């Protein structure tokens, strides 16, 4: 499925993110609970 998503995104000038990307972003940007 990923190749089709990447191709579709490329045709429509869209970004493709993975769950790993989302997890990394959240870990980098969320405040740590105290």
Task: Tell me the H-state helices in the chain.
Answer: 2-11, 19-29
Structure tokens at 1: 């499925």
> How far is it, in rounded angstroms, from Cα 1 to Cα 8?
11
Provide the whole-model pTM. 0.57
* Tens digits of pLDDT across the chain (34 residues): 889 999 999 999 999 999 999 999 999 998 776 5
Which range of residues forms the domain containing residue 31? 1-34
Q: What is the pLDDT of residue 30?
A: 86
Count of structural domains, the chain = 1
Closest CA to 9 of 1, 19, 25: 1
Non-local (6+) Cβ contacts of 5 within 8 A are: 16
Looking at residue 33, its pLDDT comes to 62
- What is the pLDDT, as a whole number, of residue 34? 53
């Amino acid at each position: 499925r990923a190749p089709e998503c990447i191709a579709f995104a490329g045709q429509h000038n869209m970004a493709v993110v993975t769950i790993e990307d989302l997890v990394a972003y959240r870990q980098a940007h969320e405040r740590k609970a105290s």
